[in-house]
Amino acid sequence: MSSKVYFVPLLDGSSVETQAKALKQLYEACQVDELIEERNLVAIKLSVGEKYNDTHVQPLLAAELVKKVKKRKAYPFLTETSTLYKGERENAIKHLMHAHKHGFGIEQVGAPFIMADGLVGNSEIEVEINGEIYDSVNIAREAVITDVVITLNHPTGHLATGLGACIKNLGMGLASRMGKMRQHSALKPQVIPEKCKNCGKCLEWCPEGIISEQDGKALINNERCIGCGECLAVCRFDSIKYDWNANPEHLQKAMAEHAYGSIKNKLDRSFHFNVLVSMTKDCDCMARKQEKIVADVGILASSDAVAIDVATLKLTEEVNGKHLTA
């Protein structure tokens, strides 16, 4: 039996207020309230975007979900996890301060922002999944113990997974630091010596400190590399390469298995919204301002993470003549 995916279209460039109205309409039509009982702890999983990014899902949409959950006399909270890479979201303190700067403070959205993986990303619960790759996965603790999970996803392209949407927001976004490292373990970058300018950016931003200088060029210690992709993201001279044909399959499967683990104990108490506006080539984790690459489409809703991401690709291609992974 196929899963249902609901859709409200939006005109290209629709205001944030119009987006919030569409989200409210979907929430009510899908009867999300039926998942929530009085006094439930309800996690609203989203991404606040990295520094300089302004195409992420806007706070007003999160505030709309908070209001709906509160009407059920439940306890909503926004949640995220720390990133592997160095940046504004590498630990709970920096992450929460950054979220406040981007408008996700309790005064703006009406609910607290609670990191699901603790202070430095190592608060976790091992969840048994009996998957193709893993028997168990490391998931952020608060994501496991909360009663309900609602994801508010912003679909974009992604340099390693092709699409960054609901499955990524669950699988990578709710994995602990260990879980993230295990997902990225197959990606091994290499330096192209003739292109390297020895600018030092990759040395500065490598979270493991395993890039050094040798003969005036950057050198990556692949034995210790966790495959996070930060060197690729910060390089301005296209001097970092991946074997994309060999590596992404492991990452994508691993991410999907972590996504399953993140909601395994609440498959009937999780719901997802994909906000198809301001969709960019790269994900919101990139610390730079990006321009959208396709016209805005609308908002999708479903209880099925796979179905909503499939619908995202198909609908985006139908409206724009190309999809986000093209």
Residue-wise pLDDT for 159-208, tens only, equals 888 899 999 999 999 999 889 988 887 777 889 999 999 999 999 989 88
Note the pLDDT tens digit of each residue in 140-167.
999 999 999 999 999 999 888 889 999 9
Average pLDDT over residues 81-109: 94
pLDDT value of residue 245:
54
| pLDDT tens digits, one per residue of 255-290 | 999 999 999 999 999 999 999 999 999 999 989 999
What is the DSSP secondary-structure string of 230-290?
HHHHH-SSS-EE--TTTSHHHHHHHHHHHHHHHHGGGTTSEEEEEEESS-BSS-TTSSS--
For 147-180, the DSSP string reads SEEEEEE--EEETTTEEESHHHHHHTTTB-HHHH
Look at the chain and count its residues. Answer: 326
Alpha helices in the chain (DSSP H): 16-29, 59-71, 92-101, 106-109, 141-145, 166-171, 177-184, 201-205, 230-234, 248-263, 305-320
Q: What is the pLDDT of residue 244?
A: 55
3-state secondary structure of 122: coil
CB contact at 8 A, 87 and 50 = yes
Helix (H, G, I), strand (E, B) or coil at 138: strand
How many angstroms separate the Cα of 205 from the Cα of each of 128, 131, 192, 200, 210? 33, 33, 18, 9, 10
Record the pTM.
0.86
Token pair of 10, please? 């939006």
AA identity, residue 127: V
Contact by Cβ (8 Å): 220, 211: yes
Here the contacts of 8-11 (C-beta below 8 Å, separation 24 or greater) are 8/298, 8/299, 9/297, 9/298, 10/276, 10/277, 10/296, 10/297, 10/298, 10/299, 11/296
How far is residue 302's CA from residue 113's CA, in Å, rounded to a whole number?
24
